[in-house]
Structures are given as C-alpha cells and as structure tokens.
Structure 1
Amino acid sequence: MPVSSKPWGRTPYREDVLLFTLENSTGCKARISTYGATLTGLEIPVGDKNIDLVLGFDSLEEYMTDGNYFGATIGRVAGRISNAAFELDGQKYQLDRNEGSNHLHGGKYGFNRRNWKVLAQNEDAKSPSLTLELHCKDGMGGYPGNVRIETTFTLNSTSLSIVHRAQCDTPAPLNMTNHPYFNLNGGGHEIDNHELKIFSAKSTTFDKALIPDGRLIETCGSEADFSNFTPLGKTVQDRFFILDKNSLADGPAAIVRCKESGLELEISTNQRGVQLYTADGIAAGTKGKNGQQYGPRCGLCIEPMGYPDAVNRPEFPSVILHPGERYNHSTEYRFRPI
C-alpha cells in the first residue's frame, strides 16, 4: 500500500499516536509520526538496498524526551527569540525560556511536542502523501492568535516535499521549519566527508548565545563560505544564511554530496534563508535507531526558514502572519546519484 499506518503509543495526555509509512513505486519510503509531525525515517534505494538517510529513534518515548528535535516540525517560531519576548502592535508577549534566557524552536509548547491530527492521505502509487493538521490556541506558549496549520508530506520519485500552510485570526508570528538530521552515509557515521554548497553570499552575525545582532556579512573567504562545494571537515556551524534571489524560485538553496556513498541531496525552498547546523551539540553516546550511536557531527541540518529573531529585529523581513493571509512554506529534498 502507498500509505499505511500503525499505532505507535500514547502521549502523557492519553492521545493515540500513529506512525505512517509512505512508499512509492520507485521503492522510496518515508515514515512520519503524528507526534510532532516528525519525519522518523527516509529510505532511498541505492544499488540493491535502501539506505535510511535521516537520524532518529526506535520508539515514541525517545522522541518525547528528545531535546535535539530529530526530524520534528518546528513552530510557532523556528530559531531563537532573544530574551524570550517580543512586542507586537504595542503589546509585549513573554514566552517560555528554554535555552538560557532565550526561547528556542517554539519552547515547551512547540509543534514538536504536539500530537497532530490526520487530515488527509493520498494513495497515489507514484506520489503518496499525508496531510496533518494542528490548531494552536491564542495564548498557548505565550503567542498571540488562533492559528490553524496544515503540513503535507509527499513522496515523489526520489524526493520528499514538505509544505506548510496556515491561517490566523489576529496578527501572529509564524516562522516554521523542519529539522531532519541527514547523513548520506546512513546513521552511525560522521559527516566530515560530506561536501556542501549553499547558494548564498551573506549570513547573519550573532553573539555568544547565537542571537543575531542585526548585521549581515559577506561570507566569501570566511569559514562560512560554501559558495562552492566545500568539505565540512571539523568546522563547527550553527549559522543562518540568506539565500540568493534566484534560489527562492525553482533553483536550489543548497546541495550536499558524499562521494563515499555516491549520493547527492539538493534542497529547494521558497523561504528567505537556511539555518545550517552540523550537530556539534549532540551528546556522544546518544542512542539512535537500529542500535546506532550518535554524537557530535552525526548529521547535518539545513533548515529553511525566515530570519531568526525577526520579531525583535525590524530591519529583518517580517515573520508576522495577518488575518486574510495564507502562510505558504514549501521545501523539497531531492536525492540522486553523483
């Protein structure tokens, strides 16, 4: 069957969680949990076998206690919000502090901690899809506005597309992303042999807490220069890159390749930038799925999104959604042989 599901446990609030599998006619498989609208697996045929290219866990319980956002859908606001607070239309909103004095990835009431509802599934053998739905009430997590979100996962040939759509009843911040950790060798390996190209010439600058200070810098010649294919090596990255204008249409935002596995991943998106994270904060010895051991540099995150801390930076493009507008965030991950 192109779309199948099975029970996958219950949340502390006694909500039933389902684990879906999408499988298309090319043999690709994507596994998605209703808890956190989480991508728990993505298998791509390579030669005579399938390789799972995203990191994760075997059980729901491990996802519910995970602090690294493995595969999760992130919101309401991805990235960090300085001092866990912002003002909108003259009113101050206080959010929970879950990273020092700051707010990260939606906090303890983030989308990754919610059990999403199943809205629709498409049994097309070539392009099976799953749509999940989430309702966020005004005031939840400190955020204003009632917001309804739909997220659709579609498996096309050897690519996975993820589309987020949303509407609200009052002005509200919304800056979503997905947080899969990719490893083109499969799990259990470091990513130092991966090469990366980002279609960007600028990045934000930030303080010790990784909060943007409002400035943009040219990356050419710096350790953050990925304008050409560059081995990741041991360089630590947790940085937001502003995409070139032509990358915001149909052009790629970033390409990752690994000569060892012979695979290449191209990411396209309609978002303004991507957050690059080389997983250096993963604790050594973290137990992953299928008996794998994770640790620093176990995977690579490229998170399409709007500017981080834009709610406190008027010089950045706004991430405020207004009534009557429709939030539309699309990203596609395409896999192919080098």
Structure 2
Amino acid sequence: MTSAQRIAFGTLDGQPAEAIELTAATLSARILPLGATLQSLCVPDRDGTVADIVLGFDDVQSYRDRPSWFGVTVGRYANRIAHGRFSLDGRTYTLETNNTPNHLHGGSDGFDQRLWDVAEVGQDDGAAWVRLTLTSPDGDAGYPGTLHASATYTLTPEALTIAYAATTDAPTVVNLTNHAFFDLGGQGEAMRHLLTIEAVQFLPVDATSIPTGERRAVAGTPFDFRSPHVIGDRVRDGRDEQIAIGRGYDHNFIVRGKVGVLRPAAVLADPTSGRVMDVAVTAPGLQLYAGNFLNGAQAGKGGRLYRQGDAVCLEPQAWPDTPNRSDFPSARLDPGQRYESVMRFAFSVR
C-alpha cells in the first residue's frame, strides 16, 4: 500500500500546522513544511518491528524554538563558509558568522527556519511523494540572487529519495542537503553501528572546522571506512589531531565516482536490529557527523535526552567553504542553470 496525505500537526507560532505523511509498504515518513523537515522515518527490523530511526521533536513548534538541525533542509549553503565571506565576480558578500568565526548552514535564519510551500502531494502504485518549494530573495542572509528552491521527498517500499533543485536570476552559490540524525536501532546506540564509506580521501580541517585544502588519504587513519567499521571504535582516538579538532567525526569525505551521477556513497548497518541503510548520492562529498555536540540538554521525541553519539549524520553536499576555494568542485549557480542534488536512502535487513 502506498499513500500520501496532508494531516493536522499541532500549531506553529499560534497558527494551525500540518505535516505530510508518506507510506509505502512497511516504510513511512512524515515531512514538515517548516524547514522541509524529515520529522520521522519508520523502518522495520529483521523481526518486522517498526521503529522511528531519525532524531527530532514530537511537535513542530520545537523545531522553531529549539533549532538543532534534526532532519531539516539546510541552505542556502550547508556546512561552513570561512569568516562568513566569499567573493563572486569581483564582489565580496558578507554572511552571518553564527558558528564563530564562520558561517554555518545558511545562518540562524536559514532554510531550516522557513515555512516551505507544499506544491504537490501525490501517489501511485509504487511511490508516494511530496514536493515543497521556497523562494529566497536577492540579499537573503547576505546571498546574491533570487533563488527558487524545491525539495521532493519520494518514498517507495525500499527507499526514501530526497531530490533538491534550484534556479537563480543572478550568479550565486548553493549547497542544499538534509541533516537527518540516524539511529538505526532506535535506542541511542549509533556508535555501535557499522559504517562503510566509498571514499579513499577526506578533507582535513583547521581549528575552526574549515578545510585546509589538503585531500588526505584515509588509509592508516581513523577515517578509513573503506570496509565496514564500528563507528565508536575510533571516534575518540585523540592520537589523530583531526579527531581532536572535530571532537570526533565532523568531516567531509570525497565520494568516489562521477559527480552528478547517483552512485554508492555509504552503508550504515545496525547489527542488533538488523537494519541496513545504503546511501547513494550525486553530490561530490559526504559529511560524516557523529552528533559530537549533543550534550544531553536537549529532550527530543518521547522526552528522551539526546546525548553525544546517539545518532550519526551522513550529509551529501558540496565540500565545505567551496565558495572560497577555486580548487574545490564549484558550488556556483548561474541564471539558466539548474542546481540538482539527489540522495537515496535504501533499507534492508540482515
């Protein structure tokens, strides 16, 4: 059975709010127009027991009042831009430095805090989907050009696919991704998950988490996930200066294969529940973030306190600080061009 329906989902800033529920066989997902957010993703384990495998809040107002990036769409530019500045065609643009001294995820009033329009809700025999749209005006958060963006969530019996697209009326930079925190066991034990990443290099960062420009081989480092490895085994290995800088994993991996083509990027597996998630991307990079700044002060779904290591993020995206690095794959978007980034999360059991 597949279905897509709009449902009432509490209130937002005193006004009635809604969500879109997608169902395809044993999978289900709930999408919020606020932030084009993945609020829940329910997947069965090897015994058929269904659990919600993403962190978040039970009510939409909390996404406004306690912004924590749980499942949101981030933009205009995911990840960091050094010192909140970049130049384009000889002109310098200044952005908010909300992650001192850098700009992070589009700023404190980024796309995650915007109420997206629900443009289409649909279903057929094999899929259910919702398409959300957002217009970001010229100068929004300091970025040039009017950007027309869309986020399309499509659920099939095997996978959730998120497709981002955008056009502009003036040269700009764009880098959209989803910031889901995954916990395949649903028990806050993501550091016990096995992770494989299709990358032979990653991007080391400086003390402020900006890439140094080096493309470092993963071989012989805690960043070697070319074969399955338990995340928690090396997440606190302070002998590696990159682990110390990031307080664990918070780094971009260079995904093998042709950019723009949907290709394997990672496999996340929970031995306890048997759930397996295969990640495919079109983006040049995959940011691995192990929830290093979850400190137990934030109560999420069911009143559960989220702690460091409870979940892991696998964010397909352009490389951090690309607008300031001519040697990185470009994040520039010009009029007449169409930005596209597709990520597919496929589920199975072992």
TM normalised by structure 1 equals 0.95
Q: Is structure 2 residue 252 aligned with structure 1 residue 251?
A: no
Q: Secondary structure at the match of 2:293?
A: coil
Match of 2:281 in 1: 269
Q: State the shift of 1:80 in Å.
A: 0.4
Q: Deviations over 1:2-60 (max 9, x none)?
A: 11222334544x76532111112x12110000000000000112334311111111111
Partner amino acid, structure 1, of 2:67: G
Counterpart among 294, 303, 306 of residue 282 in structure 1: 294
Q: Does the C-alpha gap of structure 1 residues 15 and 329 become closer, same or farther in structure 2, counting only changes over 3 Å?
A: farther
Task: Confirm or deny: 8 A CA contact 1:44 1:158 kept in the other structure.
Answer: no
Task: Confirm or deny: 8 A CA contact 1:276 1:302 kept in the other structure.
Answer: yes
Distance 2:15 2:339 in 1: 27
Match of 2:72 in 1: 72
Match of 2:9 in 1: 8
Distance 1:202 1:92 in 2: 31
Task: Confirm or deny: 8 A CA contact 2:101 2:208 kept in the other structure.
Answer: no
How does 1:181-200 map onto structure 2 within 5 Å?
Answer: 181-186=181-186, 188-200=187-199
Match of 2:107 in 1: 107
Match of 1:37 in 2: 36
Structure 2: gaps spanning 5 or more residues: 236-247
Distance 2:298 2:77 in 1: 26
Distance 2:342 2:35 in 1: 18
Distance 2:73 2:142 in 1: 19
Q: Deviations over 1:85-140 (max 9, x none)?
A: 11111111110111112100000221101000011111224300000000000001
Segments of 4+ in structure 1 off by > 6 A?
none
Match of 1:228 in 2: 227
Partner amino acid, structure 2, of 1:276: L
Q: State the shift of 1:61 in Å.
A: 1.8
Q: State the shift of 1:68 in Å.
A: 2.3
Q: Is structure 2 residue 303 aligned with structure 1 residue 291?
A: yes
Task: Confirm or deny: 8 A CA contact 2:260 2:341 kept in the other structure.
Answer: no
Task: Confirm or deny: 8 A CA contact 1:196 1:257 kept in the other structure.
Answer: yes
Match of 1:241 in 2: 253
Match of 1:138 in 2: 138
Q: State the shift of 1:247 in Å.
A: 8.1
Distance 2:68 2:259 in 1: 28
Partner amino acid, structure 2, of 1:221: G
Task: Confirm or deny: 8 A CA contact 2:291 2:311 kept in the other structure.
Answer: yes
Match of 1:260 in 2: 272
Task: Confirm or deny: 8 A CA contact 1:247 1:268 kept in the other structure.
Answer: no
Distance 1:65 1:105 in 2: 17
Task: Confirm or deny: 8 A CA contact 2:253 2:286 kept in the other structure.
Answer: yes
Q: State the shift of 1:275 in Å.
A: 0.3
Task: Confirm or deny: 8 A CA contact 1:17 1:115 kept in the other structure.
Answer: no
Match of 2:175 in 1: 175
Partner amino acid, structure 1, of 2:256: D
Match of 1:316 in 2: 328
Q: Secondary structure at the match of 1:214?
A: coil
Q: Is structure 2 residue 215 aligned with structure 1 residue 203?
A: no
Q: Does the C-alpha gap of structure 1 residues 172 and 10 become closer, same or farther in structure 2, counting only changes over 3 Å?
A: farther
Distance 1:131 1:250 in 2: 20
How does 1:16-27 map onto structure 2 within 5 Å?
Answer: 17-24=17-24, 26-27=25-26
Match of 1:336 in 2: 348
Q: Deviations over 1:200-224 (max 9, x none)?
A: 0001111111011111111111011
Q: Secondary structure at the match of 1:121?
A: strand
Q: State the shift of 1:250 in Å.
A: 4.4
TM normalised by structure 2 equals 0.92
Q: Secondary structure at the match of 1:162?
A: strand
Q: Secondary structure at the match of 1:206?
A: coil
Q: State the shift of 1:252 in Å.
A: 1.2
Q: How large is the Cα RMSD of the aligned pairs?
A: 1.6
Q: State the shift of 1:158 in Å.
A: 2.4
> Percent sequence identity over matched residues?
33
Q: Deviations over 1:267-324 (max 9, x none)?
A: 0011001000000101214211023221100101000001110001111111010111
Match of 2:59 in 1: 59
Q: Secondary structure at the match of 1:241?
A: strand
Distance 1:106 1:298 in 2: 25
Paired residues in the alignment total 335
Q: Secondary structure at the match of 2:108?
A: helix
